[in-house]
Structure 1
Amino acid sequence: MYQEEHNIFRRAFGKFIEREISPFIEAWEQEGIVPREAWKKMGDSGFLCPWLPEEFGGSGADFLYSVIIVEELCRARAISVFAPLHSDIVAPYIYQLGTDEQKQRWLPRCASGECILALAMTEPNTGSDLAAIRTHARRDGDSFVINGGKTFISNGILADLVIVACRTDRNAPGSKGISLICVERGAPGFQRGRKLKKMGLLAQDTAELIFEDCRVPAGNLLGELNKGFYYLMHHLQQERLVSSILAQAMAEAMLETTLRYCRERTVFGQPVSSFQHNAFKIVDMATEAKIGRSFLDRLIKDHMDGKDVVTEASMAKSWIAEMANRTAYTCVQLHGGYGYMEEYPICGFARDVRPISIFAGTTEVMKLIVAKKMGLV
C-alpha cells in the first residue's frame, strides 16, 4: 500500500516528533494538557487533517498519511497528543455534512491548528447507548438553546469547536430526534467542567462539558435536523478503525521495547529472553502482533476503497485492543520491577493502552455488534 512518498512523510513526521513533541511529553503529562503551541506547530507543518483538499488548508493526501501520523505518535508514546481524534474522527463530520459556509469557516482553521475539535456524545448516564442521550436543544428563533451535560470528552478543555449530539425532538422514540449541533468556544451558556484525572493519557485533556441555556446560531446545525444518530453510526466505522490503528501500533511499540530490554537485561548470568518461558511469551506476542497487522492492513485498504467494513472494524476494535492490553501486561511482567517504574517507557505504554478497549465502543459492545450482524442475537 505504501509508496515512497509515504515513507518520506513518515520520516519527516518522525523527525518532527523528535524535535517538537518527545522532549516535552513528560512536562505535558505533569501539566495534564498539550499546549496550543504544539497543535499550531503540527498544523503549520501539514500534520493536521492532511486529507483535506487544498481549498480547505489540507494537501489532499490519502488515508495512509493519517495512518502514519497515528502510528508514529504511538511509537513515540505521544498519543496524548490527540491529533487523530481532531483530524480523522471529528473533522470528517464537518467536511462530509457541513454546508459550504461551515466548511469555509472552520476547516482551514482545523488544518492550521487554530481551531481544535471535539465530539461530545457521552453523558454521565449514557455511554455506548447513544439513543439514550438526554442533552436537548430547542429552536428559539434564529438560535438553538441547548441544555444538558457531557462527560469524558477528549480535547474538552482545548476544543474551540465541539460537535454536540443532542435531542432536538424530545417526543421522538430512541434513536430518532437526535441532531448534531456545533458549539463554538465562548458561546453563551457553554461551560467547561472539571478536567478529569485519568489512569493514563495524562497529557490529554478530558473534561466535562456543561450547557445551561447555551445559545448557538441555528446555522450551526450540522447536517439535517433529527438525523444525528444516523450520522454518528455512519462515522463510527472510521473512528473504530483509527482506534484499532492506535492499539496495533502501541502493541508493536511495546513488543519492540520489551524485546530490546529482554536481550540486554541478564538474570542468573544470561539474557531474560533466553529463558524458554520468556522466549515463548515473546513469540506469542509477536505472533498476535503479526496477525493483528495483517488483518488491520487489509481493513485499511478496504476502507480506502470505500467498502462497508463495519463488522470487520468492530472485530478489529475488539480483538486488537484486547491483544494490545495482553501485550502490555506481559511486557511489564518481562521488565520485572523496572516495568513498574516511570523511567521505563513500558510503564507509560501500559497506562496509555488501557482505555482503547473502552472508548469508541467497549469490547463488549463491539462483540454485540458483530453478533447482531451474524444473526446471533
Structure 2
Amino acid sequence: MQIPLSEPSWLRGLPSPFYNESHFRFQRACRAFLDKNLHRDALDWERAGDVPADLFATFAKANFVLPALPSPLPVEWLRRLGINEMPGGVPIEKWDTIHCMIYSDEMNRSGLAGPGGAITAGMAYGVPPLLHYGSRELQEKFVPDLLLGKTRSCIAVTEPDAGSDVAGITTTAEKSDCGQFYIINGAKKWITNGIMADYATMAVRTGGQGSGAKGMSLMVVPLKNTPGVVCRRLKVGGSVTSGTTYIELDNVRVPVFNLIGREGEGMRYIMQNFNHERMFFGVGIVRQARVALSSAFEYCLHREAFGKPLINLPVVRHRLAKCAAMLESHTAWMELTVYQLANMTKADADTQLGGFVALCKANAGMVLDECARCAVLLFGGKGYTRSGQGEIIESIYREVPGARIPGGSEDVFKRMC
C-alpha cells in the first residue's frame, strides 16, 4: 500500500497538464540511480558528517550533476563535450525547468537536504553566472572542466555581516598597480560546498565602500591551494554533509581575466541568478515536508495508544489534515510557477516572476516547518531522538532553519513581495 501523501499527485497516477512522457522517463531514471547511489546511505552519511570522497565523481560520470543547471541547458558546450542526452534519454535541447524540478524533488527524497546539496549546490548556483554572463574566453578556461565534473564551483555572496542584504557586502577587490590583478580582502560565510570547491563565483566590491549595489562585481576566485585563501568548515544545525564553509581572503591575487561580465554589474547578475536558485531550493524543501508528513502518517497507522491506532484519534487526524492541505496546495502553486518558468524567456521570467518565485520559496519553508513539527509531535519522544525509529524526523526538523533562512530569508522575501 502506498502511504498517503508520500508522492505528489502526478506520481500517484492522477492527471496533470504539466508533465509529458520525457518527464516521467527522467523521473524513473532519477529514482533508480539515486536510490542506489544516494538515498540508501544518506542518513548514515549525514550522521557521519560527510559524503564519500568519490561520490561527486560517481554522479558526474553518469551526468547526474548536470540536471542541477537551469533551463535551457548550454547546448553548444554540452555537444562539444560529447553530451547529447540527459539521464532518461532526454535530448539536451528538450530539457526544461520541469525536468529540473523533478531532479531537485528526487534528490531530496531521503528527507535530508545535506547529501544531495553536497552534489548539486555548486552546479546549480555557482556555474550559471559564468554561463550567462562570462566572456567566451573566460568560459573556454573554466566551463569544460566544470560541466564534466573535473572541477567544482560554489556561489560565494553571503558574508558575516551581509546576508539577505546583498548590497551590504564589504569584501573588496582592488586592482593592483600593474593593472593585471584584483587584490581581494574580506570574508564569506555559510558558503555551501565551499570546502569542496576549486573555485568560487564570488561577489566582491570593486567600486569601493559605500558604493552600494553599483559597486559590486562577480568574478571567479580560485580557492584550493591559493595563497591568502583559508577555508574552514562550519558546524551548522542541519545539512551537515553539504559542506557549509567560512572563507577568509587575505590579499588574494586574482587575474582581471577572471571578471564575470562587466565591472559593477554584479548585483544584476546575482539577482538574475536567484530565480533558478530559489526554485531549485524550494522544490527540495517541499519534498522534505512530504517525507516528514508521510512518515508521520505511516507511523500513526500502526502505532497504538489508548487501545486504538493513533490515526483513529480525532486530534491526530486534524493535525495530519491541516498539514496535508498546506502541503498539497503549496505543491500545486509550485508546479504552476515552475511551468510558467518553463514557458517564459529568462528575461521575462526575471522581471515578472522574481517576486513570486521568492514568495514560493519562502512559503515552502513555512510548510516544512508545519509538517516537520507535526511529525515530531506525533512521533513523540521518538521524534526528538537522534537514533531509532524517529531519527529521520528529528533530522528534518533540525533542518527547518536551513530552509527558511538561506537563499534570502523569509521575512525579507515577504517584505519585498
Q: TM-score, normalised to structure 1's length? A: 0.93
Identity %: 25
Residue 261 of structure 1: aligned partner: 299
Query: Would you say the 8 A contact 2:185–2:250 is kept in 1?
Result: yes
Alpha-carbon offset, residue 172 of structure 1: 5.7
Matches within 5 A, 1:1-377: 1-50=18-67, 51-53=73-75, 54-55=78-79, 57=81, 59=85, 60=92, 61-80=95-114, 81-82=116-117, 83-140=119-176, 141-170=179-208, 173-186=211-224, 188-306=226-344, 307=349, 308-341=352-385, 342-343=387-388, 344=390, 345-370=392-417
Query: Would you say the 8 A contact 2:285–2:364 is kept in 1?
Result: yes
Q: Secondary structure at the match of 1:138?
A: strand
Query: Aligned partners of 1:177, 1:191: CA distance in 2, in Å?
Result: 23
Q: Which runs of 5+ in 2 are unaligned?
A: 1-17, 68-72, 86-91
Q: Which runs of 5+ in 1 are unaligned?
A: 371-377
Query: Aligned partners of 1:139, 1:259: CA distance in 2, in Å?
Result: 59
Query: Aligned partners of 2:225, 2:232: CA distance in 1, in Å?
Result: 18
Query: Would you say the 8 A contact 1:237–1:310 is kept in 2?
Result: yes
Query: Aligned partners of 2:279, 2:105: CA distance in 1, in Å?
Result: 13
Alpha-carbon offset, residue 30 of structure 1: 4.1
Q: Secondary structure at the match of 1:203?
A: helix
Q: Secondary structure at the match of 1:198?
A: coil
Query: Aligned partners of 2:148, 2:113: CA distance in 1, in Å?
Result: 19
Alpha-carbon offset, residue 56 of structure 1: 5.9
Letter in 2 for 1:351: R
Judging changes above 3 Å, is the alpha-carbon distance between structure 1 residues 328 and 25 closer, same or farther for their aligned structure 2 residues?
A: same
Query: Aligned partners of 1:101, 1:55: CA distance in 2, in Å?
Result: 18
Letter in 1 for 2:368: A
Query: Aligned partners of 2:206, 2:220: CA distance in 1, in Å?
Result: 13
Letter in 2 for 1:285: C
Alpha-carbon offset, residue 210 of structure 1: 1.1
Cα distance per residue 1:161-186 (max 9 Å; x no partner): 10111101106621111100101234
Q: Secondary structure at the match of 1:332?
A: helix
Query: Aligned partners of 2:394, 2:210: CA distance in 1, in Å?
Result: 47
Cα RMSD for the two superposed structures: 1.8
Residue 374 of structure 1: aligned partner: none
Query: Would you say the 8 A contact 1:49–1:91 is kept in 2?
Result: no
Query: Aligned partners of 1:103, 1:182: CA distance in 2, in Å?
Result: 11
Judging changes above 3 Å, is the alpha-carbon distance between structure 1 residues 19 and 283 closer, same or farther for their aligned structure 2 residues?
A: same
Query: Aligned partners of 1:129, 1:251: CA distance in 2, in Å?
Result: 28
Count residues in correspondence: 370
Could you list the structure 1 runs, at least 4 aligned residues long, displaced by more than 6 angstroms after superposition: none
